[in-house]
Amino acid sequence: MTKPNFDAMSEAELRTYVYEHRDDQEAFYAFVDRLTAKPPSATYPASMTPEEIHKAILDIIQQKQQK
């Protein structure tokens, strides 16, 4: 059996292939390598924008100062 070209697959295609071929370690490692090659913000996007974070920090500081 000829292995597919994991580099040519999209991330979604590779994920599907890994789910369908759970015993294929080469595919699993190709998928993990692809995920770890991304910057952390691409893998786990922040739930708040930098502006929202800044405002939240200022609000917390203000609340602490009022106590």
Q: What is the pTM of this model?
A: 0.58
- Residue 1: inside a domain, yes or no? no
- pLDDT of 1 above 60: yes
- Residue 15: inside a domain, yes or no? yes
Query: Residue 30: CB partners within 8 Å, gap ≥ 6?
Result: 6, 7, 14
Distances (CA, A) of 50 to 1, 33, 40, 60: 49, 28, 15, 15
Total domains, the chain: 1
Return the pLDDT at 15.
Answer: 92
Instruction: Give the domain extent around 24.
Output: 6-66
pLDDT digits (tens, 9 = 90+) for 8-55: 999 999 999 999 999 999 999 999 999 888 776 655 556 777 788 888
